[in-house]
Amino acid sequence: MTTTSIPPRTPPVDRAWSGWRTVLVVMGALLALVGVTLFAVGGVGLWAQHQRDGDGYFTAGPERVSTSTYALSAPGLDIGGVGPDAFYTDDFLGKVRIETKSTSGTPVFIGIGPAADVAAYLKGVSHDEVADFDVDPFHLTTTARPGDKPAAPPADQTFWVASGTETLNWTARGGDWSVVFMNADGSQKVDAELSVSGTLPAVEGITIGALIGAALLLLIGSAVVVSTITTRRTFSD
């Protein structure tokens, strides 16, 4: 009877750590780091979702705005950008609500209109244009435009795409717009508490996308690192 001896299997040996392995580990770690960052973004988005009011609006303010002239305008509100207008308007801003509470007793008119038409209406009218603003603390930087009183009250104009006294509601759409605040009777010295709100529907999509992306990148990054390290050991023949 002939017996065949099976040679003993050699124990696992370490393969040399190569430069490619280092690159893979670094890439995996970077992917995981980006995933952690996206998780943070998603967490902020989840927190923001709970800051909506009962009507689904995010609100900034109230803050006091005033001018000794006949109007305060924010010209050149260019809504659009590279890509489909729907993303930058309906999907991003959604519905806009602007509210004012007069501190002088005179109701305040709010209007949004095409920038060219608003500029024509305010040409020769004493008013302040918003050049810049800070959020915290709230501060407007304005440029004074000299002139006289308006020829007619703002509500008499027909070019407004949205307007109201004390409250304005508007569904944002692409275009070059100007926002105007005036006393409803066209008188001088506008003084009011201002609040601006928006539904910002894109926030929900960004939050979901960030969380899904974070989970995928963490899984991929972790898998790359773990597989690269654990496959360093192998059996020799």
DSSP the chain: ----PPPPPPPPEEPPPPHHHHHHHHHHHHHHHHHHHHHHHHHHHHHHHTT--TTS-EEEEEEEEEESSSEEEEEEEEE--SS-HHHHTTTTT-EEEEEEEESSSS-EEEEEEEHHHHHHHHTTB-EEEEEEEETTTTEEEEEEE--B--SS-GGG-S--SEEEESEEEEE--SEEEEEEEEETT--S-EEEEEEEEE--THHHHHHHHHHHHHHHHHHHHHHHHHHHHHTTEE---
Higher pLDDT, 164 or 136: 164
Quick check: 121 pLDDT over 60? yes
Model-level pTM?
Answer: 0.65
Residues 95 and 142 in one domain: yes
Quick check: 225 pLDDT over 60? yes
Q: Which domain holds residue 121?
A: 53-198
Number of other residues whose CB lies within 10 A of the CB of residue 143: 11
| 78 domain residue, yes or no | yes
CATH code of the domain in which 188 resides? 2.60.120
Residues 92 and 29 in one domain: no
- pLDDT tens per residue, range 123-154: 999 999 988 766 556 677 888 999 999 999 99
**Do 145 and 127 contact (CB within 8 A), yes or no?**
yes
Residues 223 and 145 in one domain: no
Residues 164 and 221 in one domain: no
- Mean pLDDT value across residues 89-93: 56
Residues 88 and 168 in one domain: yes
| 62 domain residue, yes or no | yes
Q: 4-8, 73-77, 233-237: which range is least confident on average?
A: 233-237
Residues 40 and 65 in one domain: no
Helix 19-49 with 202-230: angle, nearest 10 deg:
150
**Where residue 211 falls among pLDDT bands split at 50, 70, 90?**
confident
Q: What is the number of domains present in the chain?
A: 2
Residues 212 and 146 in one domain: no
Residues 145 and 185 in one domain: yes
pLDDT given at position 11: 55
Residues 97 and 127 in one domain: yes
| 65 domain residue, yes or no | yes
pLDDT given at position 237: 44
Residues 40 and 125 in one domain: no
- pLDDT tens per residue, range 33-48: 887 787 777 676 666 6
pLDDT given at position 133: 67
